[in-house]
Structure 1
Amino acid sequence: MSHIPGEPLVSASSTDSVPATAPLPLARTSAATDIALVATFAALLAVCAILPPIAVAGLAVPITLQTFGVMLAGLVLGSRRGSLAVLLYLSVGFAGLPVFAGGSGGVGVLGTASAGYLLAFPFAAFLAGFLAQRAASVRPALRYPALFGSAMTASLLLIHPIGITVMGWRLGMSATEAIAAGATFLPGDVIKNLLAALVATAVFRAFPDLLRRSR
């Protein structure tokens, strides 16, 4: 191959190696972003849990903002990253850090009446995220009701049935008593899911790339 004077000499092997190495920084950036988002939402869950809970008369399970954080993680991050954020939060709590309601921590919480709600959280975040991903292609005007519907479905199918079952078992309630007691949390969950969908809609409006990455 002839060489034109004044032009830099570039071998064929050096040009061939550029495409092979170029995508690597992008892959690392994507993984780093995912890790940062998962860690951020796990921390958000901890904040939601340790805020002063509202005690319910006659029940050992207080009202907290945990379900708001769980639903928001699923709606914004999608099924995989949302459930990972919740699992990270639970792992930190079970390890002994006081990140559960009332500043509690450790595996001892699995023996409490609220254990079912905690165990249902990662599954609920996954389902909410899965449904939200399916609704990601709807028109912007319909995004808010779609996200709210995703959060409510996950709450009604997973959080409430599992939470009520374990609560009734731990407190020695009959099925009717447990369902009646669990129903006291439903109005609050509706409000928290409305807020989670509202925040998720605002986040997607401000960061449309995040909406695409959640699919």
Structure 2
Amino acid sequence: MTKPISYKRHRFPSQIIAHAVWLYFRFPLSLRLVEEMLFERGILVSYDTIRRWGKKFGPAYARRLRRKPPRPTDIWHLDEAVISIAGEKHWLWRAVDQDGYVLDEIVQMRRDTKAAKRLLTRLMKKQGMAPKRIVTDKLSSYGAARRQVMPRVEHRSHKGLNNRAENSHLPLRKRERVMQGFQSVGGLQRFTSVFSAVRNLFVPPHSRQSALATHLHRLQAMGAWKAAAGVLA
């Protein structure tokens, strides 16, 4: 069982800490903008304190957020995006399902079969089952890795079929610009794990929904967030 989150030795109440972390990971805001938004509400806290809260509590919240149960009918869309970290090129490998839900992502230095195999192996371990199909771009490394890790799974390789995975990179690209890049591999890996968990929770499915359904989805998401942060009234 996951241990409850402890806010001991923190001067600010848990509700303020959780709200600041939510603002930072949910919206394309810099730390200084979050600081300013809290100041408007009469909360005087430095942007560096908010950064430390995000680093400490963000991963803990993400581990407690509800996860989408895997299904044998799932389709995995895989893609990789180049990310500059301290001036050096790295690759962020990401997998999303047919609904755009981020399943996993991993930062690696290479764009080859070994890197693709590592992503697939992690996915199989985390999901506990193979998908119905994987969809990728034309990178041959995916096919080689798939034959080693899940040889019986159907593989479709086509640039036009993989828009769902490619589009999943866009929200992080916006954050990358706001944050003016990432300084370390570990920092990027930590940020993306929390960022995607929060986005998975709050962004409604791609299917068209009524305004009422969207409102209910947001209420449920906020309830799940507060439960994960341990700040339910």
Which category of TM-score, normalised to the shorter sequence, fits these structures?
under 0.3
The structure with the greater share of residues assigned to strand is: 2
TM-score normalised by length of structure 2: 0.26
Larger Cα Rg: Structure 1 or Structure 2? 1
TM-score normalised by length of structure 1: 0.28
The structure with the greater share of residues assigned to helix is: 1
